[in-house]
């Protein structure tokens, strides 16, 4: 029998520089997702939620090739400063292509391809994320509706298709720098991301 990700959910107190959270772990076969929960969002409407796909290079090393690190920081600052909210950290490195292939894609980008072209060149779809697991995790916390923190309309439609009730959007604004300007332009032009 396949184990459901909600069968065993360890959690612990999790004080951070962004505020005091409770951390939860969800195991989905070989993937390990995390949720940082501020306060008690159970039964609430308009719960601020960030769904963040793991980006080791951006989140941990503050890479300037993307804007993930700053988005992570802004989202945690926002949620940490509110009474309740949820930060979901999906174990889906590089939009699902994995770390090794992400560096391969960077190598191709250094040769002149953009992020979407580089992933296609490697045989990957533009975005492999599945939102069913997010719907399950939000269901676990019993939220009624969420305000999603994103600039990505694909994320909103993906979550809605998975059955998540979205009552609004909180923009995540990150200032471009000389290294990520072309990455941000690609996101805007090819992936229809909102800016501001
Ligand atoms: Zn990134």
Question: What is the per-residue pLDDT across 73-125, written as a single tens digit (0 to 9) for each?
Answer: 999 999 999 999 999 999 877 656 788 988 988 898 899 887 777 766 565 54
CA dihedral 161, 101, 125, 112 (to 10 degrees): 130
Whether 20 is covered by a domain: the verdict is: yes
Q: Residue 27 maps to which CATH number?
A: 3.40.50.10990
- 21-28 LR contacts (CB < 8 Å, sep 24+): 21/80, 21/87, 24/140, 26/133, 26/136, 26/137, 26/140, 27/3, 28/91, 28/133
Contact 150, 51 (CB under 8 A): yes
Q: How far apart are the first and last CA of the chain?
A: 46
Could you tell me if residue 2 is inside a domain? no
Q: What's the 92 CA to ligand 1 centre distance in angstroms?
A: 11
User: Cα of 146 to ligand 1 centre, how many Å?
Assistant: 24
At 32, list the tokens. 């390990």
pLDDT tens sequence across 143-171 = 999 999 998 888 899 899 999 999 999 99
Ligand 1 centroid vs 189 CA: distance in angstroms?
A: 18
Closest CA to 114 of 181, 164, 46, 57: 181
Active-site amino acid positions = 127, 129
Please tell me whether the overall predicted TM-score, pTM, comes out greater than 0.75 for this model.
Answer: yes
**Owning domain of residue 63:** 11-92+129-190
Question: How many domains, in total, are found in the chain?
Answer: 1
């Amino acid at each position: 029998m396949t184990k459901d990700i909600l069968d065993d959910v360890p959690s612990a107190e999790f004080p951070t520089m962004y505020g005091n959270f409770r951390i939860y772990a969800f195991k989905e076969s070989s993937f390990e997702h995390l949720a940082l929960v501020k306060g008690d969002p159970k039964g609430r409407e308009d719960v601020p939620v960030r769904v963040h796909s793991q980006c080791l290079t951006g989140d941990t090393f503050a890479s300037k090739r993307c804007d993930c690190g700053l988005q992570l920081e802004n989202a945690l600052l926002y949620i940490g400063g509110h009474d309740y909210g949820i930060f979901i950290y999906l174990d889906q490195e590089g939009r699902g292509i994995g770390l090794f292939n992400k560096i391969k894609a960077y190598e191709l980008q250094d040769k002149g391809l953009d992020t979407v072209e580089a992933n296609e060149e490697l045989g990957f779809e533009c975005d492999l994320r599945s939102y069913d697991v997010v719907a399950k995790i939000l269901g676990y916390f019993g939220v009624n509706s969420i305000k999603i923190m994103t600039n990505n309309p694909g994320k909103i439609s993906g979550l809605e298709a998975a059955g998540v009730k979205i009552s609004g959007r909180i923009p995540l604004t990150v200032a471009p720098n000389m290294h990520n300007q072309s990455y941000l332009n690609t996101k805007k032009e090819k992936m229809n991301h909102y800016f501001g």
